[in-house]
Structure 1
Amino acid sequence: MARIENFEDLDVWKIARQLCIVVKGFTSKSKFLKDFKFSAQINSAAGSIMDNIAEGFERDGNKEFINFLYIAKGSNGEVRSQSYRALDWDYISKEEQNEILVLTEKLKFKLQGLINTLKNSGAKGYK
């Protein structure tokens, strides 16, 4: 199995980045433009996913990386929940929400898979 040298090579980070792009696209139009607080909140949660994956990867051990992956997983749930609020408030369409739901569902399982892999690996690192 090839060793991953950069967080940019992780599939979970790539999907999180894609989710950020999708969320930013939705919040840059329509009714989201007038709701600065909610727009900032959902964009922050989406950004937190990819940023925590990156930060955890850059730490010196699986234990810390796993901790940051759990934080990313929590932020992923936050974006998923916020997508329902955006739908209920008519900020996004059902089709737009579905795009978020598909990405967050994929991320949920990929993040948990990476967590499980790290927990079961022999490598522990420094922390």
Structure 2
Amino acid sequence: MPRAASRRKKQGKRNKKKGTRRKGQEERDKKKGTRRKGQERAKEFLMRFEELQVWKRSARLSSQIYRYFRNSKDFGFRDQITRSSLSIPSNIAEGYERKSDREFANFLSYAKGSSGELRTQIYIGMEIDYIDKATGKGWINESEEISRMIASLMKIKLEKK
């Protein structure tokens, strides 16, 4: 067998050995309260993005906006405001399904940007009387709160690194 092939074979054996754990090691880890990084990440992903409060609130806001504008004849404005509202929970979900915290934080950044875009469109919609003031203020407050929640989640994910 050539040297390179032999080296690869030995390397493969070493990698296999690293992944194995001694009998009873998991029980000792549980008692101590220690976990390996991979186990922490796996446990974190037992939760689904649908369980995130920020995702639930942003999806609810998007639904409200879709219902409010369902009969609007200004297709350009309706499409733009519904698209930006839908982008918030969609980016949260897409980022959550990514492999790393860094990627998740990146998608949270997109969601936060969409939240700002949505607030701008709400302000304009109120100014041109497409959105009544009470509804618009409620949506703006909710959008700001969602933005703060996204920023907090981004901070947590970036600090984990």
1:38 aligns with 2:77: yes
Q: Choose which of 65, 85, 91 in structure 2 pairs with 1:23.
A: 65
After superposition, give the CA deviation of every residue in 1:65-89 in whole Å (9 maximum; x if it has no partner).
Answer: 0000000000000010000111011
3-state SS, counterpart of residue 158 of structure 2: helix
2:109 corresponds to which letter in structure 1? Y
Q: How many residues are aligned here?
A: 118
* Distance in 2 separating the partners of 1:74 and 1:54: 15
Give the aligned CA root-mean-square deviation in angstroms: 1.3
Q: Choose which of 33, 54, 58 in structure 2 pairs with 1:12.
A: 54
After superposition, give the CA deviation of every residue in 1:62-119 in whole Å (9 maximum; x if it has no partner).
Answer: 1110000000000000010000111011011110101111110110110000001111
TM (norm. structure 1) is 0.88
Please list every run of at least 4 consecutive aligned residues from structure 1 whose deviation after the TM superposition is greater than 4 angstroms: none
* Distance in 2 separating the partners of 1:93 and 1:36: 18
* Distance in 2 separating the partners of 1:3 and 1:62: 11
Q: Choose which of 29, 48, 58 in structure 1 pairs with 2:97.
A: 58
Q: Give, in angstroms, the shift of residue 22 of structure 1.
A: 1.6
Between the aligned residues of both structures, percent identity stands at 36
Q: 5+ residue gaps in structure 1?
A: 123-127
Q: Give, in angstroms, the shift of residue 3 of structure 1.
A: 3.5
Of structures 1 and 2, the one scoring higher in RCO (CA 8 A, sep 6+) is 1
Which residue is equivalent to 1:117? 156
Who wins on radius of gyration, i.e. which is larger? 2
After superposition, give the CA deviation of every residue in 1:13-55 in whole Å (9 maximum; x if it has no partner).
Answer: 01110110121122124xxx11001101100001100100000
* Distance in 2 separating the partners of 1:95 and 1:28: 19
3-state SS, counterpart of residue 34 of structure 1: coil
Q: 5+ residue gaps in structure 2?
A: 1-42
